[in-house]
């Protein structure tokens, strides 16, 4: 066994053998432990699905063999006396591998949460699911950019100068595609803040319709007359958007006029009649009814009530029922609705009769 005490490259042979043994032991130990953990967690995830369990399994599956090998190599080298270049290079290789593995783990983390978000949104909001996929792509680009910069920094590259150079180029590119980037960030803002979603009825300026799709650059709205209105996302965010789908109740005010030939008793009774009619409707809260003013050709009554559901069709059904009931009630009481009329008084001169 004398050969074990022979010196080779600054270390005894037995030290080299122990280092190789540590490398193999650590490598096989972590590899077996990793496979065992993934298999057991897979069984647990099937029985008790949960976010944390799924994420842990995904992260473990993204652990690369290169990372395990470098960790094992570094562990085995701890008992050896290495040349200066190896002493300097091995920690750098270890850090680079660790950063690379961190990139894979971060990539898996982003992919996991984006995949879950897409799965939840795919059936009810396919456009948002598409935008989430784009958001995941942007997040991965940012992640790997940071990882690459850190790796270059550990290799001795002047990252500050590189970032400054890239920054100048990035500014030029951003100026060239600023409209596209503006719409892209506006799309992300719409997804995260949710001022409206697919299916909402919105009004933007004089245009109105139902949101059909929210894309990366444009939002498409189907108008009441059937045509498709396409807004850029940046224009939408800079405009005042009225979202009627988020309305909890609808305030309605309407006026009617009766002729001046209506008796004061009937004029006094009309607010009570209208209140009974409005209060008798479903999903309606009566507010008030008043003799508002003397009009040019009519006595004007103003009525205010609330429809407790936001649906426009429900409001129109209620208003139609109220209008018909008022017509029947006025007909029974011989109350006439007013319409624009003029009464011409002619005075005859007494001298004409002589």
Tell me which residue range forms the domain holding 196.
187-243
pLDDT class of 8 with cuts at 50, 70, 90? low
pLDDT value at position 51? 61
Residues 293, 230, single domain; the answer is no
* In a domain? residue 230: yes
Residues 211, 254, single domain; the answer is no
Is the model more confident about 198 or about 210? 210
pLDDT value at position 299? 94
Last residue of a domain, one of 228, 243, 258: 243
pLDDT value at position 182? 72
Residues 26, 85, single domain; the answer is yes
Model pLDDT for residues 105-146, shown as the tens digit of each residue: 888 888 887 777 666 665 555 555 656 666 777 788 888 888
Residues 142, 201, single domain; the answer is no
* In a domain? residue 347: no
* In a domain? residue 180: no
Residues 198, 317, single domain; the answer is no
Residues 208, 324, single domain; the answer is no
Mean pLDDT for 167-175 is 56
* In a domain? residue 34: yes
Residue 177 has pLDDT above 60, yes or no: no
pLDDT value at position 284? 94
Report the b/e string of 43-67 with b at 16+ CB within 10 A: eebeeeeeeebbbbbbebebbeeeb
* In a domain? residue 311: yes
Residues 227, 148, single domain; the answer is no
Last residue of a domain, one of 195, 226, 243: 243
pLDDT value at position 325? 95
pLDDT value at position 287? 94
* In a domain? residue 302: yes
Residues 7, 87, single domain; the answer is yes
- Give the whole-angstrom CA distance, residue 110 versus residue 138: 10
- Is the pTM for the entire model greater than 0.75? no
What angle (nearest 5°) sits at the alpha carbon of residue 133, between those of residues 50 and 163? 110
Domain CATH code at residue 227: 2.30.30.60
**Per the structure, how many domains does the chain have?**
3
Residue 189 has pLDDT above 90, yes or no: no
Residue 354 has pLDDT above 60, yes or no: no
pLDDT class of 26 with cuts at 50, 70, 90? confident
Model pLDDT for residues 313-330, shown as the tens digit of each residue: 889 999 999 999 999 999
Residues 222, 318, single domain; the answer is no
pLDDT value at position 252? 92
Contact call for residues 110 and 143 (beta carbons, < 8 A): yes
Mean pLDDT for 40-55 is 65
Residues 322, 235, single domain; the answer is no
* In a domain? residue 178: no
Residue 343 has pLDDT above 90, yes or no: no
Residue 102 has pLDDT above 80, yes or no: yes
DSSP H helices, the chain, are: 13-47, 51-61, 65-77, 84-121, 126-154, 159-176, 178-193, 233-237, 264-279, 312-332
pLDDT above 70 coverage of the chain, percent: 77
Task: Report the mean per-residue pLDDT for the chain.
Answer: 79
Domain CATH code at residue 309: 3.30.70.100
Residues 208, 319, single domain; the answer is no
Residue 172 has pLDDT above 70, yes or no: no
DSSP 123: T
Lowest mean pLDDT, pick from 40-54, 85-99, 334-348: 40-54
* In a domain? residue 348: no
Model pLDDT for residues 246-291, shown as the tens digit of each residue: 778 889 999 999 999 999 999 999 999 999 999 999 999 999 999 9
Residues 149, 210, single domain; the answer is no
Mean pLDDT for 36-47 is 71
pLDDT value at position 144? 83
Contact call for residues 119 and 136 (beta carbons, < 8 A): no
């Amino acid at each position: 066994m004398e050969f074990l005490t022979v010196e080779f490259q600054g270390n005894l042979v037995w030290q080299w053998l122990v280092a190789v043994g540590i490398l193999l032991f650590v490598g096989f130990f972590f590899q077996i432990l990793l496979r065992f953990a993934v298999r057991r967690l897979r069984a647990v995830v099937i029985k008790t699905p949960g976010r944390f369990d799924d994420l842990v399994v995904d992260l473990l599956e993204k652990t690369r063999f290169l990372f395990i090998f470098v960790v094992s190599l570094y562990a085995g080298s701890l008992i050896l006396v290495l040349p200066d270049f190896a002493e300097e290079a091995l920690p750098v290789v270890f850090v680079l591998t660790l950063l690379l593995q961190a990139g894979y783990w971060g990539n898996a983390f982003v992919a996991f949460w984006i995949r879950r978000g897409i799965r939840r949104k795919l059936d009810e909001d396919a456009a948002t699911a598409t935008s989430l996929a784009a958001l995941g792509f942007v997040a991965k680009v940012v992640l790997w950019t940071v990882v690459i910069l850190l790796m270059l920094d550990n290799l001795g590259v002047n990252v500050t100068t590189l970032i400054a150079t890239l920054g100048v180029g990035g500014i030029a590119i951003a100026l060239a595609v600023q409209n596209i980037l503006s719409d892209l960030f506006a799309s992300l803002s719409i997804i995260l803040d949710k001022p409206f979603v697919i299916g909402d009825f919105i009004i933007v300026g004089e245009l109105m319709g139902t949101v059909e799709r929210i894309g990366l650059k444009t939002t498409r709205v189907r108008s009441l007359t059937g045509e498709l209105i396409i807004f850029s996302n940046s224009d939408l965010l800079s405009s005042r958007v009225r979202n009627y789908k988020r309305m909890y109740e609808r305030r309605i005010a309407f006026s009617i006029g009766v002729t001046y030939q209506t008796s004061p008793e009937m004029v006094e009774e009309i607010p009570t009649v209208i209140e009974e009619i409005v209060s008798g409707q479903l999903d309606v809260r009566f507010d008030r009814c008043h003799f508002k003013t003397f009009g040019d050709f009519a006595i004007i009554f103003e009525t205010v009530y609330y429809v407790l559901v936001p649906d426009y069709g429900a409001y129109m059904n209620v208003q139609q029922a109220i209008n018909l009931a008022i017509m029947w009630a006025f007909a029974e009481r011989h109350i006439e609705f007013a319409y624009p009329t003029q009464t011409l008084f002619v005075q005859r001169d007494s001298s004409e009769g002589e």
